[in-house]
Amino acid sequence: MIEVIGIGALNMDRLYLVEHIAEPGEEVRIDTVSEQPGGSAANTIVGLARLGIHTGFIGRVGDDADGACVRLEMEREGVDTGGIETVPGRTGIAIVLVDGRGERSMYVYPGVNDELCMTPENMSYAKSAKYLHLSSFAGEDQFEMQKGILDKLESKISFAPGMLYAQKGIDALQAIIRQTEIIFLNHDEIEMLTGSGYRDGAEKLNKAGAAIVVVTLGRDGCYIRTPDSETVVPGYGARVVDTTGAGDAFSAGFLCGRLNGRPLGECGRLGNRVASMCVEAVGARAGLPGAEVC
């Protein structure tokens, strides 16, 4: 049985390491260039596959070289690609600038991600999983599609809104939040989503229906809140090279712990551990560990 199926954008990440992000009109030297498959939910699904979890994905790539690479890499990682369609057009692209502190700026071209819709076959596929892991799309139609399918599913929902969805505000996300078991956000995203600090924001999300709210706090670890409890789990030290995909890696570690019946605090520690390994390499996937960690 497939334990977790992801649904989200499939992109080719083009990463450029620079000393600092340029100001308007400024020229800055690029020190390193890297191209890797990406997409938030896809990164989490690959992280889970490496941790020994049986995973699949629902998404769309173009009939170009990037699409072939994205799909092949998912297959190589052991992800079931039965829900990935290849269609005429350009695969999504994310241009990522990473500065000397490992912080990043991202520019996204959605490509054929903007054409994804749920077919009866994909709906049947989604129903086969224990968890459906959702992340953001740039297109409004795909956001509405995600909201519309949840009432038809019995799978548990994990949700990583990211900045694209967080900026919509809590009311716009209510249809997803009320059916979510676990919602993953970083410190900035939860403030943007709820208009409150992370503790008060987490309480708002619990009241909105999310059973477990997890807020990543960078070097400080993570904060976990349920309607009945809250805890802070300290982080791991890391030599930060690139923070791209750190939240996606955290989600993979946390979900791995959850699927294996671990207490929430231990799930948080596992998430912190996987994220700390991710940021020590360039890109969202290069530093992801294997099943020995989980």
Catalytic residue list: 248
Q: How many residues does the chain have?
A: 294
| Interatomic CA distance for residues 55 and 166, integer angstroms | 26
Q: What residues pair up with 14 in beta bridges, in sequence order?
A: 35, 95
Paired strand residues for 24: none
Angle at alpha carbon of residue 212, lines to 173 and 278, rounded to 5°? 90
d(CA 121, CA 192): 36
Name the region of 156 (left: φ>0; alpha: ψ -120 to 50; beta: rest). Answer: beta
Structural element, H or E, at residue 202 = helix 198-208
Q: In Å, what is the CA distance from 130 to each residue of 23, 133, 149, 259? A: 46, 10, 15, 9
For 120, other C-beta atoms within 10 Å of its C-beta total: 7
Q: How far apart are the first and last CA of the chain?
A: 19
SS3 89: coil
Q: Which of 185, 273, 181, 264 is nearest to 221 (CA)?
A: 273
Report CA-CA distances (Å) from 72 to 61, 149, 172, 221, 231: 11, 27, 35, 33, 40
Buried b (16+ CB within 10 A) or exposed e, 235-251: beebeebbbbbbbbbbb
